[in-house]
A = this chain, B = another copy of it.
């Protein structure tokens, strides 16, 4: 038993302790048995450390949880230029089962279902945990940017009484004997809270029961939502989004540097002014007449923005009103178009946002024009009956962002425990 009062040192801190006796803890990442000596590579949250052990240590299986006390010794051949010598090795936890594949190999050959089914252990692979570290850093950047701009964080209900927000399908549940639904977005709540805090954000789960089985859809994902009042129009929302994107990229660079390096992520430059294109102009350039952009169109427009403006981001503004929800603010002078936008990033729609209606009478007219009854929206409309400023906002799908950033082939690689039409475990 190692004396418990020795303070633990992390693998990445070893170079600062040469000549000292220290204690490392972590998982046995790899062992390499030579004739007279065994090299143990220990993995902790900071990285890897090499331990030079007696040959007898060669019988420990990888992933055994160890506490190792030893002397920090300089060795230019070792990772970080140091290794632990003369170690006393204590097993904190043994294995009942080997991982589905070797976690120490630099690349992962296992198929996606194997990775996802074994998430509690497969995510220990440094290449598989790295996207999640980048994701955490991204959210921190989102919040820090908005905190600096006077936003207030909110927490809104994930269970609602009616399924009215969008055409998407919803999950139904039984709420103490009453029908209820999982919230598809915090849209109505965040708008209402503009009336209280002016500027709000939420980072939380949303639920979509669409039976899409594609590489970019999840049935639960983390939505980064913001909404702000007293805007002139959607361009102020876009300006805030630009700051948020820059803050997210900067936070990833600062807080997840080793993950960025490991995955060889090329972080995008966020231009001071992200180029923008009106939807009508995009249609003209694409030579099409549909009221929507296909994935192929998005890729083409993204390539155009990179070619013409050197930007990996592109705003497409002014989507047709008939393709947007009823609360969307029309474009002044061209009411068939809207004061709304999508942000394309590396060929994919990443963010949707825009200016919303803010006058009570405009909401009543918009619902009437679409032939929708007012009843189901009574709670929502209440905010507007009491005076709401011009406002707008956006929603960014965290998993999709991380997938684009890391070049993941499937958005499921950026959710710890993805939920989709087939997958409800682990």
Is B211 within 8 A of A419, CB to CB? no
Nearest-neighbour CB distance to chain B for A8, whole angstroms, equals 6
CB–CB B96/A220 < 8 A: no
Contacts of A193 in B (CB 8 A): 123, 416
Check: A65 CB closer than 8 A to any chain B CB: yes
Question: At the interface, yes or no: A265 with Cβ under 8 Å from chain B?
Answer: no
A187-204 interface code vs B (CB 8 A; 1 in, 0 out): 001001101111100001
Give the number of residues in A that approach B within 8 Å (Cβ atoms). Answer: 96
The complex is assembled from copies of this chain, and their number is 2
Residues on B with C-beta less than 8 A from A94 are 359, 387
- Check: A286 CB closer than 8 A to any chain B CB: no
B192→A96 contact, CB < 8 A: no
Residue pair B197, A45 in contact (C-beta under 8 Å): yes
- Chain B nearest CB from A64 CB (Å) reads 6
> Interface code A37-74, partner B: CB below 8 Å = 1, 0 otherwise?
00000001100000000000000000111010000000
Which residues 159-176 of A sit at the B interface, judged by CB distance below 8 A?
A: 159-161, 171-176
Query: Does A119 make an interface contact (CB < 8 A)?
Result: yes
| A152 neighbours in B (Cβ, 8 Å) | 45, 132-133, 136
Could you give 8 example pairs across A and B, Cβ below 8 Å?
A: A4-B232, A95-B385, A95-B387, A129-B197, A135-B155, A143-B143, A157-B417, A158-B158
- A155 partner, pick from B98, B171, B222, B358, beta carbons under 8 A: B222
List, in ascending order, chain B residues with CB within 8 A of A384's CB. 96
